A and B are shown apart, each in its own frame.
Chain A
Amino acid sequence: MKGRLVASLAIASAALIAAAGCGSSGNSGSSSTTLTLFGADYGTGPANSTTKYWDAIASAFHKANPGITVNVQTVNWTDFPTKVQTLVQNKQFPDILEGDTAPQFAQSHLLYKSSDVLSASVIGDIMPKFLKDTAYQGTPYGIPFTTSTRALYYNKKIFAAAGISSPPTTWAQLQADAAKIKGKGYIGYGLPLGSEEAQAEALMWFLGNGGGYLTSSGTYAINSAANMQSLQFLSQLVKAGDTQPSPGTTDRKDVWAQFAQGKIGMVGGQPALIPIIQQAGVLTPSDYTTANFPGRNGPLASTLGVHDDIVAFNSGGHQAAIKKFLDFVYQNKYQLQFAGEYGLLPATQSAASAMSANPTFSAFFKNIPLSVNYPSNTNWTTVENQIKTTLGQAITGNPQQILNAIQHTALSGG
């Protein structure tokens, strides 16, 4: 019985594979082409799943171009890296991938150049700072799709209760304010160094001391003295009880949720925190605001800018169809719809200028020209993973040893 089941499953899957093969081997000149789009899900549940966003675009596009069908699949951020890894390992490349894309794709010759799959006019509209960042050996292989920058969120109500009149601009002030807030029974500063996004939180503190992941010439400098000092400051901040306990196992989503519930005085954030605050329904727009992130001796001159990109895989040979579709996707209305839905910033300059008048987002737009991006070195993903897993331990353990180990990984290979 089981055997027969296996046999029929085998036949069924063989049929599926054959069918899929037919689908992807159809050349773009013939009457029908099917594109596959695999993307990250920015939503918080089925109601605002990013699949809906893409499906709407895909069906509008299909109406205008009946010859091309786009199949959409999205997966939540937690499973996204694993899922992409599996797809690539099994050579089931999607035509279009949106989300966290690795420079290794370009290195392994899996991608079309950005200019092959997007019209020159649209490429010219992408914010150059981010587009440049997707380059491998000088040529852009990715197309920034959505962006964000960071700032310090603070709860004005808690600040008033603790007798704090203005947001901190230096680390010392931040610690003093956090201590006052703690005195009122709230958490002073929410410090997420758990595996979700330790690399972002840490970079904000590294930048505050003139450190970072790279030297100005682009080589890794993760175990620099400046970075060490940042971690030492954080370590005593935690020891003093001015943060939530156990930052090494706290994820960004945890502290964001607590900030939205009005339990944390200060937290590092980006525009995506706004919809979470609105959903929680505890804080009104006048209860919180943002300021530049404090540094060791003054507010940060530069902040972290993140961009999620679209890349097009060349294995399906659908260059013309992909180009048609992506030109359609990068219309102003879709860029604005995405930014509005998920509280992120657009990637095109025209959408940005249409949106920068919005008071909620203006502070974040101001930060774009000043932003520092993650390294675009080919082994960054590996380094990033190690930072995510181990950096949190620097707070309780030996920071120098942990930074040295990450630097060692960074310099070996890639």
Chain B
Amino acid sequence: MSDSTAVKETAGEPAASPGPARRRGPAGRVRRRLGPLPWIAPSLILIAVVVLWPIVTMIQTSTQNITPIGVTIGSAGAQNYTTLFHDPNLPGILVRTVLWVTAVVGITMLLSLGLAQLFNQRFPGRRVARWALIAPWAASVMMTALIFRWMLLPDNGVINVFLHQLGLVQFNSNESSWLGRPDSALAWMIGVAVFVSLPFTTYTVLAGLQAIPGELFEAARVDGASRWRSYRSITLPLLRPAFLVALLINVMNVFNSFPIIWEMTRGGPGYATNTTTVFMYNLKQSFIGEAAAMSVVNFTLIIVVVLFFLRVSRWNRREAR
């Protein structure tokens, strides 16, 4: 940020101030420093109002004692955090959140690598196929989740009807109630989350693939490299920036993902399919302060993950040079 303004200042100097050296007084310097302010002020205000202010309010709320109906009684100190960390449900929820994020992002990234490779080939109907890939992305996530829930209804969901016709499940049996059992519910929800994450990830990877110059592959072929070898030594390393961006955005998205779980199981039965994001919402019904504390923890977790990724990606860039 400060780097780029400094660059602009020096670059703008000869043109902007052709006058004599009297401009170089302290007042002039301050004025020049403040020069860009009218242009960047709107974005600064936007960031302050839309990003910073809610964060401050969130942290503030997490230290307040608020009754279930929403009346603030006073300060709670660290009480909300203590209660949260002593909640017997929390350890299970944290483990599940890690599982949820790793599974969804891992499967999505793997499938996207393959899909992007496929969409990068020339084949008849490629344009249509590429458009079709957008569909799960364009549709509202909530709608997708709801439709999957209907498809899994124990007595007339289309998936159960199909399995019933194959003689695999009985209607209204325990097996047909996919979303009633925590393990199978989680598996299905991971599937839906992968389904809605694929388009964005595939497009990002596809863009990365298209940016790789064709001559490199030609040269590799001339040198007698196998297809697998050129994929490993050319495609993957050059794909790294696009891959990392997709990975980072997916981790944040999936971690914060709410509508899929909420629409399909409401986090139930009990807390058995809650992730930390859903748990925060569940807490909010009765314990507003504790829910805010959970938000702060979520926020911290995601910041830590993002910083970690930024570090890794910078390290990569340095290595690439």
Contacts and interface: CB of A to CB of B under 8 A. Distances in A.
A248 B268 contact: yes
B52 to A, nearest CB: 13
A283 B59 CA distance: 54
Interface in A61-88: 81-82, 84-88
A258 B269 contact: no
B172 A249 contact: no
A385 B285 contact: yes
Contacts of A99: none
A263 B46 CA distance: 55
Interface stretch (A2-10, A145-153, A199-207, A353-361): A2-10
B42 A3 contact: yes
Contacts of A85: 68-70, 284, 288
B270 interface: yes
A246 B154 contact: yes
Interface string B148-189: 000000110000000000000000111011011100000000
Interface string B63-107: 000111111100000000000000010000000000000000000
A245 B270 CA distance: 15
Given A393-B270, A393-B272, A245 B43 contact: no
B70 A244 contact: no
Nearest to A251: B266
B268 A245 contact: no
Contacts of A110: 71
A246 B269 contact: yes
- Pick the most buried of A108, A187, A248, A405: most chain B CB atoms within 10 A of its CB: A248
Contact of A88 (B71, B154, B180, B271): B71
B257 interface: no
Report which residue of B69, B172, B271, B284 has the largest number of chain A beta carbons within 10 angstroms of its beta carbon: B69
Interface in A374-410: 379, 381-382, 385-386, 389-390, 392-393, 396-397, 402, 405
Contacts of B42: 1-4, 6-7
A2 B42 CA distance: 7
B235 interface: no
A386 B286 contact: yes
A195 B281 CA distance: 14
A195 B43 contact: no
B200 to A, nearest CB: 24
A137 interface: no
Interface string A93-121: 00000000010110010100000000000
B268 A6 contact: no
Contact of B174 (A187, A245, A258): A245
A221 to B, nearest CB: 21
Contact of B69 (A108, A195, A405): A108
Interface in A150-182: none
A102 B285 CA distance: 13
B43 A2 contact: yes
A392 B268 contact: yes
Nearest to B179: A249
Contacts of B112: none
B49 interface: yes
B243 to A, nearest CB: 31
Interface in B1-52: 41-43, 45-46, 49
B230 interface: no
A7 B173 CA distance: 58
B282 interface: yes
B265 interface: yes
5 contacts: A82-B285, A248-B270, A382-B68, A389-B270, A393-B270
Given A108-B67, A246-B174, A248-B270, 11 more contacts: A3-B42, A88-B70, A89-B66, A194-B268, A248-B180, A258-B155, A386-B286, A389-B285, A390-B270, A390-B271, A393-B272
Interface of B: 41-43, 45-46, 49, 66-72, 88, 154-155, 172-174, 176-177, 179-181, 265-266, 268-272, 282, 284-288
Interface of A: 1-4, 6-7, 81-82, 84-90, 102, 104-105, 108, 110, 187, 194-195, 241, 244-246, 248-250, 258, 263, 379, 381-382, 385-386, 389-390, 392-393, 396-397, 402, 405
Complex A-B, nearest 4 residue pairs according to Cβ-Cβ distance, in ascending order = A3-B42, A246-B180, A89-B70, A248-B269
